[in-house]
Structure formats: structure tokens, C-alpha cells
């Protein structure tokens, strides 16, 4: 039964209803049928096509009115439309009944288009979870379904494989890409005793882990639940017309009944019901939003929810993820520090790039790419070896070289002097990853890498501040990295080392304090926060599909500077909606006065509605070409 109503409320059926309504009007005018007062319609025509419009467009409205009244216990705009249609039919004004039904049906379709939401992200999250694991039993490997893995089982994870459960490393060293869960920009070196998350990727070394959380208790499954729960926590927003219907319906009935009692003319009473129908009011919000959505699309901003566009203007806290949002998500060499005055920067870079040329680690690849950009020559490296979680060693120019962390140098008995230690501390305080270079049995320098910040962050943050919105940093990165970056960007409030659930908690905390929150992110780990926030904005070009689908708005060019533009566009849209509502109510009140005076009949009243609705639509269309890019 529901499918039938959905079919009748579809765009194609509504268009058919509109075409038949036009045919009814043409026949009425061609045959000299009255367009004023009782006895209107198509005169002597045997069958009025408007009857089909009433059935096609009116039945879904009647269903919605009955459902809202008896199931949801609320008076909706659909109830007033249903009463007006019934009254029009009773006095023979079928065209008037079909006209209000058609306008309301079109308004509902436009509203549905603006509120449409993409909800495919959860399915993609589920696909990240490995279906099988390699369990070790009595020294032998066996492949088992992930759901059969129990707490305490020993699992072997090879390079490139996803981890099927949460666990603790019991053997081996590696680097784990855990951006799915924590959003960290760099792979994290892990060794015996360190924890690992379900759904993260083992990049290099083979490791054995002991399962500590399995099935629904694993980090990835908790993330999936967070996305679902966050979506459910968002309270649905009633249409403006339904908010007003509780008093609109009784007022319309009272005026119609009083007019009938005083004048004794039932046609006037019915006309009041027809002109009181909130047709222009129904179109006021969705037409303005669709015009704004169209303008945003011209500038590379995809808005999936009209509700979000309305709320963007009210956001007083704009929460940013760091990696891939405020930064480019690309590692680049930021510092080259030589501990030997005789060793120039390019010489140190050449040694490191030569040793790292065969490395698959992101840091090694970034060093080699930087060396090529600077035109630094590479030497052929021999005896290359990679120690997962530590670094690489190779023979460059006949001399043994090490590139890695302090643990790698300690394994080869190479000490780190006070000068090197001071340089490392300074770079780490700036949130940068460091590679120590050793040759000839001594540390000769360090190369630091960082994720490059976007060039337009600080002006954008300042513009938001002037607009009354506070910028907040929510990141999975460590505190030192977050603090250094926030200082560079001009962000005052920082929350670091956050897992997805903790980002959700922060946003809930802001909302409980009475704030309206806009969350901006790009990764899978941001999806729950994007869902829960009053407005979620994803980086469209480099962001994950899950983040984009969880968000209400996507920046397709990853242009973070568009955030203030969105706020201005939102405020302008809300102002236009209020203007259209005022305009539509003025049109309605004028029509009521004319109906009480007997100047308008049901059909002319319906045509008056058409004129008012067109005026509202044209006013909304003007928003499309206005320029809100400049503050």
C-alpha cells in the first residue's frame, strides 16, 4: 500500500497531474465554463480531466493528513489541503481541488529533493573489515572466518594485510597505517606489546598478534555503530508549513464558517479554504534552498541537505580535523639539519635518498621525491635491508649508512649526541616526523618531514571569527603536533589524540552547551562526527567516500576557503526564506479578504494562488546569480 502512495507522489505522476490540470483549464476557457463562483469547472463537458489530477495528486496528500492526525497526533498542512479539496469537490469546483493538490504535490517533491541524504557510508565501512584471519594453532597457520576468531587467539598478519580484530603484538615489528581509526597522517611504528586496531593496515613487517577485542567489540565495529547512532541522534526538522499548520487549520475553518454563517454563501466559505491553502508557503523554503544549492554547485560545493544549508548560518563552532582537511595530506621534507659543518644539506639528502631509494615506507618515498625535485644525485646502494618499525640500512659510496629512528641506531651501537638530541626535540615539538642519518658509526644529521598546511587556513579562520564562529581543532594526532599546528593556523581551542568516539563526545558536549556545530573532515574516522554535527562538511577530492557520504556538504575542490562563503550563502538563504514566507502570507491574507468580499471564487482563488506561487519561485531564483564569494 505504501508503495502505491509513493508512486502517486513521484515526480512523473505529478507532472501528468499538472498536464491534465492545464487541459482542464483549456477546456474550461474554450467552452465558456464559469471561472467565478459556483458552477465553475468545465461547464457542459462530460468529463473534467482535473478529476484525474485530484486522484493522482490528492490521494497521497489525504494519506499524509490522516497518518499525521491519527498516528503522529499532529495537525499538518496536508489536513487543510484535504479539507479544501473536499469542500471544492462538494460544490462542484473540481479544477480548484486539482490545482491546490498539484501545487502541494510539487512543493512536497521539491522539499524531498532538498532533504535527500546519502546513506551508503555504513556499507562501505563494513567492507573495510577483513572477512578472514590467519590463526596460528600448534605452530601451523589456518585461515578462519573473522567471526570465528576468539579472544586470546594468535593471528599472523603479513605486510599489506588488514588486521581482522583488535589485538596486541606478541612478535615482530612493523609500521601500521591506522588512519582509518585515528586519522593520523603517518604510519605508526609498532613493536612487541603495542596495540593494533581492527581494519587498520599492516604496511611492512610480518607480526603475530593476540586478539583482545573481537566481533562487535572491535574498534571498526564500534566505528560502524557510531555512524549509525550519530545519524539516529539527529532530530528530524519539521517543514515550516507543518509547524504553522497547528494554528493555520483552525483559523481557516473558523473564518470559513463565520463567513458562511454571515453571508449564507457556501461558495465564499469554500473559497476561503482554497485561498488559505499554504501553496506559496510550501514553496518558500525549498525553492530558495534549491537556488542556493545550484549556486553552491557552480562554485564546486555540493550541498546534499537543505536542512544543513539552513543550519550552516547558525553554526557558532566550526570543528576541523587536521590531516587532509587543514593540511594537504602529503608528506614533504621540511628541515634538513646537518651535525657536521663539512656535510652540506644536499650531501646529507643525497646519502639518505640513496639509502631509501628501495624503501616502500612513506617517509623514505617522500625523501627520495624531494631529492629528485632538488636535482640531488643518487648513488647506487648495496646491502639494502629494511627493519620494520625502525628504518633501513644500506651501503652508500662504500660506507655503511643508517636511516631511521633512535632504536635503529641503538641496535648498531650508534649514539646520539647532545646536539642531535636537541635538534630532534625541537623538531618533534613542531609535530614533525624525523629520520636520523648515521654514517661511519656516528649520527651525521636528521631530516624532518611534515604534512604541508594549506596556504589559506589563517585568513579563513580569521574570517570565521569575524562572522561569530569559533574554530576548534579535533585531531587524532599527538598533543605536540596539534599544538604546533594550531598555533600556526590561529586556532585557539585544541583537542588532540582523539579516537572517533571521542570526537563524537566532544561534539555532543558542544551541543549540550547550546552550540550549533559544523564539523569538517576527510577521513573514515571523521564519519561519526560528520553525521552527528549539526552540519557535516567533507573534503570531496581527497576525502574518503565514507566521509563524503556521511557529510551534508562536500567541497569538491578541497578549497577550505569556501567555508566562510557557505556561511554567507546560508544566512542569505535563510533571509530569503523569511522574505518568501512573509510574501506568501501577505498574498494569502489579501486573497482571504477578497474571498470574504465575494470578489474571488474557488477557481479564481486557485489561480491567485498560482500567481503567488510563481512570484515566490521567481524571487528565490534571484538568489542563484548573486555573488557571495566575497565577504
Contacts of 619 (CB under 8 A, 6+ apart): 576, 579, 580, 583
State whether 476 and 339 are in the same domain: no
Q: Which domain holds residue 561?
A: 301-327+453-569
Q: How confident is the model at residue 246 (pLDDT cuts 50, 70, 90)?
A: low
CATH code at position 350? 3.40.1110.10
Does residue 72 or residue 529 have the better pLDDT?
529
pTM, two decimals, is 0.60
Looking at 189, 217, 245, the residue that finishes a domain is 217
Three-state secondary structure call for residue 145: strand
State whether 442 and 502 are in the same domain: no
State whether 394 and 420 are in the same domain: yes
State whether 462 and 385 are in the same domain: no
Three-state secondary structure call for residue 598: coil
- Domain total of the chain: 3
State whether 382 and 305 are in the same domain: no
Query: Which range has the worst mean pLDDT, 11-20, 108-117, 363-372?
Result: 108-117
Three-state secondary structure call for residue 40: strand
Out of 48, 166, 321, 477, which one is annotated catalytic?
321
Is residue 38 in some structural domain? no
State whether 428 and 511 are in the same domain: no
Three-state secondary structure call for residue 148: helix
Q: What is the mean pLDDT of residues 333-345?
A: 87
State whether 440 and 334 are in the same domain: yes
CATH code at position 503? 3.40.50.1000
- pLDDT over 60 at 233, yes or no: no
State whether 474 and 556 are in the same domain: yes
- pLDDT over 90 at 168, yes or no: yes
State whether 176 and 313 are in the same domain: no
Q: How confident is the model at residue 127 (pLDDT cuts 50, 70, 90)?
A: low
- Answer yes or no: are the C-beta atoms of 223 and 528 closer than 8 Å: yes
Q: Closest Cα to residue 61, out of 21, 17, 118?
A: 17
Is residue 6 in some structural domain? no
Does residue 470 or residue 326 have the better pLDDT?
470
Write the pLDDT tens digit of every residue in 609-624: 667 777 777 787 778 7
State whether 368 and 512 are in the same domain: no
Is residue 371 in some structural domain? yes
153 has catalytic annotation:
no
Write the pLDDT tens digit of every residue in 409-465: 999 998 888 888 888 888 887 778 889 999 988 899 999 988 777 777 888 999 989
Is residue 20 in some structural domain? no
327 φ, ψ (degrees, to nearest 5): -115, 170
Is residue 66 in some structural domain? no
Q: What is the dihedral of CA 609, 613, 614, 617, to 10 degrees?
A: 180
Looking at 544, 569, 594, the residue that finishes a domain is 569
Helix 11-30 × helix 50-70 angle, to 10°: 130
State whether 321 and 458 are in the same domain: yes
CATH code at position 173? 2.70.150.10
Write the pLDDT tens digit of every residue in 98-110: 888 887 787 667 6
Looking at 217, 244, 271, the residue that finishes a domain is 217
Query: Which range has the worst mean pLDDT, 209-218, 341-350, 449-458?
Result: 449-458
State whether 379 and 315 are in the same domain: no
Amino acid at each position: 500500500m505504501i508503495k502505491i502512495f509513493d508512486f502517486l507522489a513521484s515526480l512523473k505522476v505529478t507532472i501528468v497531474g499538472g498536464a491534465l490540470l492545464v487541459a482542464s483549464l483549456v477546456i474550461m476557457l474554450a467552452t465558456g465554463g464559469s471561472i467565478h463562483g459556483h458552477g465553475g469547472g468545465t461547464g457542459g463537458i462530460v468529463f473534467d480531466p482535473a478529476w484525474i489530477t485530484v486522484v493522482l495528486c490528492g490521494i497521497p496528500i489525504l494519506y499524509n493528513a490522516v497518518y499525521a492526525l491519527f498516528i503522529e497526533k499532529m495537525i499538518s498542512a496536508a489536513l487543510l489541503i484535504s479539507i479544501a479539496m473536499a469542500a471544492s469537490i462538494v460544490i462542484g469546483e473540481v479544477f480548484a481541488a486539482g490545482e491546490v493538490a498539484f501545487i502541494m504535490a510539487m512543493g512536497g517533491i521539491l522539499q524531498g529533493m532538498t532533504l535527500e541524504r546519502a546513506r551508503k557510508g555504513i556499507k562501505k565501512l563494513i567492507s573495510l573489515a577483513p572477512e578472514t584471519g590467519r590463526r596460528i594453532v600448534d605452530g601451523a597457520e589456518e585461515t578462519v572466518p573473522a567471526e570465528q576468531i576468539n579472544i586470546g587467539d594468535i593471528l599472523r598478519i603479513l605486510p599489506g594485510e588488514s588486521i581482522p580484530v583488535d589485538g596486541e603484538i606478541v612478535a615482530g615489528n612493523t609500521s601500521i597505517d591506522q588512519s582509518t581509526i585515528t586519522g593520523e597522517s603517518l604510519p605508526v611504528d609498532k613493536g612487541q606489546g603495542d596495540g593494533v586496531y581492527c581494519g587498520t593496515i599492516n604496511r611492512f613487517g610480518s607480526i603475530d598478534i593476540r586478539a583482545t577485542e573481537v566481533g562487535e567489540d572491535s574498534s571498526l565495529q564500534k566505528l560502524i555503530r557510531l555512524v549509525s547512532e550519530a545519524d539516529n541522534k539527529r532530530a528530524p526538522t519539521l517543514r515550516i508549513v507543518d509547524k504553522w499548520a497547528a494554528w493555520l487549520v483552525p483559523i481557516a475553518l473558523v473564518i470559513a464558517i463565520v463567513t458562511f454563517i454571515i453571508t449564507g454563501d457556501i461558495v465564499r466559505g469554500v473559497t476561503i479554504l482554497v485561498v488559505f491553502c499554504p501553496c506559496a508557503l510550501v514553496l518558500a523554503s525549498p525553492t530558495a534552498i534549491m537556488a542556493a544549492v545550484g549556486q553552491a554547485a557552480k562554485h564546486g560545493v555540493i550541498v546534499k541537505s537543505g536542512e544543513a544549508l539552513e543550519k550552516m548560518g547558525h553554526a557558532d563552532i566550526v570543528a576541523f580535523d587536521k590531516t587532509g582537511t587543514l593540511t594537504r595530506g602529503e608528506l614533504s621534507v621540511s628541515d634538513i639539519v646537518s651535525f657536521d659543518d663539512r656535510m652540506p644539506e644536499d650531501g646529507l639528502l643525497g646519502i639518505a635518498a640513496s639509502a631509501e631509494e628501495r624503501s616502500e615506507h612513506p617517509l623514505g618515498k617522500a625523501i627520495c621525491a624531494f631529492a629528485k625535485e632538488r636535482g640531488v644525485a643518487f648513488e647506487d646502494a648495496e646491502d639494502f635491508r629494511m627493519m620494520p618499525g625502525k628504518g633501513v640500512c644500506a651501503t652508500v659510496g662504500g660506507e655503511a649508512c643508517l636511516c631511521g629512528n633512535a632504536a635503529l641506531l641503538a641496535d648498531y651501537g650508534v649514539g646520539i649526541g647532545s646536539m642531535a638530541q636537541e635538534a630532534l626535540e625541537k623538531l618533534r615539538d613542531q609535530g614533525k616526523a624525523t629520520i636520523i642519518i648515521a654514517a661511519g658509526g656516528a649520527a651525521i644529521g636528521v631530516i624532518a618531514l611534515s604534512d604541508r598546511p594549506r596556504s589559506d587556513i589563517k585568513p579563513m579562520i580569521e574570517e570565521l571569527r569575524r562572522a561569530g564562529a569559533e574554530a576548534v581543532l579535533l585531531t587524532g594526532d599527538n598533543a605536540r603536533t596539534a599544538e604546533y599546528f594550531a598555533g600556526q593556523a590561529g586556532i585557539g581551542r585544541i583537542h588532540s589524540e582523539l579516537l572517533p568516539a571521542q570526537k563524537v563526545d566532544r561534539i555532543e558536549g558542544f551541543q549540550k552547551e547550546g552550540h550549533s556545530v559544523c564539523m569538517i573532515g576527510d577521513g573514515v574516522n571523521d564519519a561519526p562526527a560528520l553525521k552527528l554535527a549539526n552540519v557535516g562538511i567533507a573534503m570531496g577530492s581527497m576525502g574518503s567516500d565514507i566521509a563524503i557520504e556521511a557529510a551534508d556538504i562536500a567541497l569538491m575542490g578541497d578549497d577550505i576557503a569556501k567555508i566562510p562563503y557557505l556561511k554567507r550563502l546560508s544566512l542569505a538563504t535563510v533571509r530569503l526564506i523569511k522574505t518568501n514566507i512573509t510574501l506568501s502570507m501577505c498574498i494569502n491574507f489579501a486573497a482571504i479578504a477578497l474571498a470574504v468580499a465575494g470578489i474571488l471564487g474557488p477557481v479564481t482563488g486557485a489561480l491567485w494562488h498560482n500567481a503567488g506561487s510563481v512570484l515566490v519561485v521567481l524571487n528565490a531564483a534571484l538568489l542563484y546569480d548573486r555573488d557571495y564569494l566575497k565577504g
